Each structure stands twice: as C-alpha cells, then as structure tokens.
Amino acid sequence: AERSMPAAQVDTSEPVDTVKPVPEWLLLIPAGTVQGLDGRTWQNSNPQGVVDAFVEDGLDLPWDVEHATHIKGPQGEYAGASGWMVELEVRDGEIWARIDWNDRGRWIIEDKDYKYYSPAFLYDDKGVITKIRSCGFTNDPNLADLPALNRKEGSDMPIPQAIALALGIEASASEAEAATAIGAMKIAMNRQGADSVDLTKFVPRADHQLAINRAQTAELALAQRDQSDAEALVDGAIEAGKVTPSSRDMYLATCRTEAGREQFKQFIGSAQSISEQQAPQSQKQNGSALTDDELAMCRKLGVSEDDFKQSKEKLAL
C-alpha cells in the first residue's frame, strides 16, 4: 500500500539563494537512502519508476508554500501554486525537476522569503519512494541532504479516525499505539479461536495413526490365517488321497476365501480316495483330461470341464 507524504519532505542543506536567482532545474530526491531530520528514512531505489509514473499521469505538479496543496487545500483554504513542475528526469540516481515559475514563485526566490524547499511524495510499505505529489517552499526543512525546502514532521503519521475507532484507541494515538492495539486484537482472536474448537470433531494425529496401524496389523494377521487355513485344508486332502498334488495350487486359490473353503470341505467330504497310478486309461492317453476328483469338483462347484481346464492351465503357467 502506498502512503502520501505531504509532510515527509526532502531537506535541503544548500539554500535556494546559493544557486541561480531563479533556477529552472532543482534536485527533488537524492539517490539511494533518503534520511529525514526527524529520524525517518526512505529509499530512492527506483528513480526511473518515479519519473515514469509522472509521465503516465500526464499532469504538471504544483510547487506551493508549506505544502498548502495537502494541508490547506483539503480544508477549502487558498493553496495556490508558485510554479509547476513540468518535467522530471533521473541524474545519477537522483530525481530532478524542471519548474515553470510564476511571478509569485520568482518573487519568493529573489526576495529570499523562503530559503528551502521540500517535495511531498508517496512511498510503499518498504519505504520505497514511488511517486512525487508536489513540492513546497519552507523554512523548517526535514531532510538535510538535499537542496530542497522541507518541512519537518512528527515521527508518527496521524491514525485515520475510522481505524482508530475500530481499534478502540484515541484518534490522536500514535502509530506505535495503533500497532500495540492490533497486536492485542490478534492475541484475543487467536485465544477465542482456540476456545471455540469442538474437540469431539477432531482426532489427535497420534491416535489416528495408531488406529491405522492396528487396522493394518489385524488385516495382515487375517490374511496370514486365511492362507494357513487354506494350506492345511488342501494339504490334508492331498494326504487323504482326495485330490492330487498336481492340483494343489488350483485348490489353494479356491480356498483363499471362507466361502471357497466351505465348498472345498463339502467336496472332499463326498469324494473318494484316488491315486494318480489308478487313473483311467483314457486319462493316460490324454494328458489334458481331468482326473476323477477334478470331475467331481466340477460337478460340485457347477463349473464346466472346459472352464476348469482353462483355470488349471493358467495356474500351471
């Protein structure tokens, strides 16, 4: 945000009367850091940007007396100009202005009515000067580094009345008092926010992670138990001669779920003991034929022989 500085003006250690009686060009802002006698500092780090802003606005800037443009003008009082800044330029980082003086301005300089002058400018939150507003004759300069007539200002800018009212402070309060009020307001808001939190709607991070870990552990244990039960069931059927060892992987796949294990239990409960040596001659002649227990399994599960063969072949790959 930019701030207007009608009273944060540039000082002059070189009086107007030490130069030409009616100078056409005068230095407005020195290069680099601009130091005020009241302790404040600004930065003239982008002088060309200031000149560009002047050109873009396309308006001549008033040269008045004691910053009347910004002090008396808003009150409806006379704030006439003694001249007009019609051109700005950068010289070695400094900002210079060419002034078109009127009779009043020439008289002030020639008669030495005012010895110094002071530019009023805008600056951003970092103190970088962004735009020239005006310049005025003064006998109470603020900046001692420039040949400029500058009026001193208190160290604090007045707080706008609306802001002071919102902060609950006096309209005459200083910037420091306003900053203190804002800090207190932030603390109060943070406390209020903490007190209004509904803890029933939140779970501590550690408790949430613990619940996730427990769920993952339980899920892994259940999967391991299912695998163990399936292996015990199928291996028991192989030992009992109810199914052949070559079909072990296929039956393990069937028994991965509880429903599959129940179906397998029903199958081996009704199946007769067999052995690969007792397989029918037709099976020996055709290696792709199903064994008797596989055929019985098909009937029990309602699966066609072709589908069963395809599943068996996929498991064998």
User: What pLDDT is stored for residue 197 in this prediction?
Assistant: 57
Could you identify the residue written with the tokens 């599960």?
Answer: 301
Query: For residue 274, with 0-12 CB atoms within 10 Å meaning exposed, 13-18 middle and 19 or more buried, which class applies?
Result: middle
Q: pLDDT tens digit string along 198-242?
A: 656 666 777 778 778 888 888 888 888 888 888 998 888 888 888
Mind listing the pLDDT tens digit for each residue in 11-50? 443 455 444 568 999 999 999 998 877 778 899 999 999 9
Decide: 67 and 136 in contact? Cβ < 8 Å. Answer: yes
Instruction: For 192-206, write each residue's pLDDT tens digit.
Output: 666 665 656 666 777
Domain-by-domain residue ranges, the chain?
A: 25-138, 161-195, 205-270
pLDDT of residue 177: 77
Stretches in the chain below the pLDDT threshold 50? 1-14, 17-19, 146, 148-156, 276-277, 279, 281-285
Provide the pLDDT for residue 149. 38
CA angle 198, 200, 204 (to 5 degrees): 100
Report phi then psi at 127, rounded to 5. Answer: 85, 10
pLDDT for position 199: 58
The string over 279-295, giving b where at least 16 C-beta atoms fall within 10 Å of a residue's C-beta and e elsewhere, is eeeebeeeeeebbebbe
Mean pLDDT of the chain: 78
pLDDT attached to residue 93: 95
